[in-house]
Amino acid sequence: MTRTAPLALLFVAALPGAMAWGAMGHETVAYIASNYVSSSTKSFFQDLLGDTSADYLASVAPWADSYRYTSAGKFTAPFHYIDANDNPPSSCGVDLDRDCGAEGCIVHALQNYTTILISQEASNANLQIAAKLAGDIGQPLHCEALEIGGNGIDVQYDGEDTNLHAAWDSNIPESISGGSSQSSAKSWAEELIKEIDSGAYKAEAASWISGLCVSSAEKQTATALKWATDSNAYVCSTVIPDGISTVENKDLSGKYTTTAQPVVDLQIAKQGYRLAKWLDAIVAEIK
Ligand SMILES: *[C@@H]1O[C@H](CO)[C@@H](O)[C@H](O)[C@H]1NC(C)=O
């Protein structure tokens, strides 16, 4: 038993790539969401979190990632992804019966935490996990089984050894924002908010939230499944469009990143906007 804690820590240290959009990506999603939530949503969740600062949502992501590696939070580990057993790059797709394991998956977990938040019995831990998952579901490799969501595909980035999952979690997002700090997240969020309000995403933002509905368990599941399916499609189109052999042991910091960046921008903007509207829908359902 005495060995458990140090081993768990080693495990975390050895698996930086299993962390989902790195903290910076999650903070960006959270800052975007904070910009779009209604004022009643904002006060509801600031109350729940006991944090009235502007960073109330941005502060939650790192916690949920470390929680999954503790013994109390171990049960939440499968909630961060869905192992789509599709066949990329020739065919992508998510099938809930096929892909959501007995321990649960990100689609069921989002449904579960939506219900818990509506019930008003949520702890701040529940909200922290839920907000984290709403970000994770936009990372294409969180909706893919192949090589443990790309964790098993070795690549290099700027000459450093890493894996495909980690490149999508952190290296590519940081190539856009310019760093891993919370201030990088904040300025990236500001750029993306401009694109949503008056730029490249203005025409399509409404379609990101079409079908978003939390009024029953079925509709909550359908909403989350739609997000997962949307995200998973990028595995075929952008993550490995020409198969594993074209990325494995290659350095992805050049042309690959140039092609991936618009998808990362889009997925971060989309999940931030969706998180806001989803939290609004939850608060509306409570009244
Ligand atoms: C729903 O979330 C709660 C709170 O974290 C957890 O105790 C429960 O096991 C979850 N249920 C399912 C079916 O995942």
State the pLDDT confidence band at 262, using cuts at 50, 70 and 90: very high
Q: Whose CA is nearest to atom 5 of ligand 1?
A: 126
User: Which range marks the domain in which residue 83 is found?
Assistant: 5-286
Task: Give the Cα separation of 277 and 209 in Å (integer).
Answer: 7
Split at pLDDT 50, 70, 90, the class of 2 is: very low
CATH of the domain at 28: 1.10.575.10
pLDDT at 7: 38
Whether 104 lines ligand 1, by a CB cut-off of 6 Å, is yes
| Closest ligand 1 atom, residue 79 Cα | 14
pTM for the model stands at 0.92
Residue 270, pLDDT above cutoff 50? yes
Q: What is the pLDDT of residue 196?
A: 98
Distance 112 CA to ligand 1 centre (A): 6
- In this predicted model, what pLDDT tens digit does every residue of 145-164 receive, in sequence order? 999 999 999 999 999 999 99
Is the pLDDT confidence value at 240 over 50?
yes
User: How many independent structural domains does the chain possess?
Assistant: 1
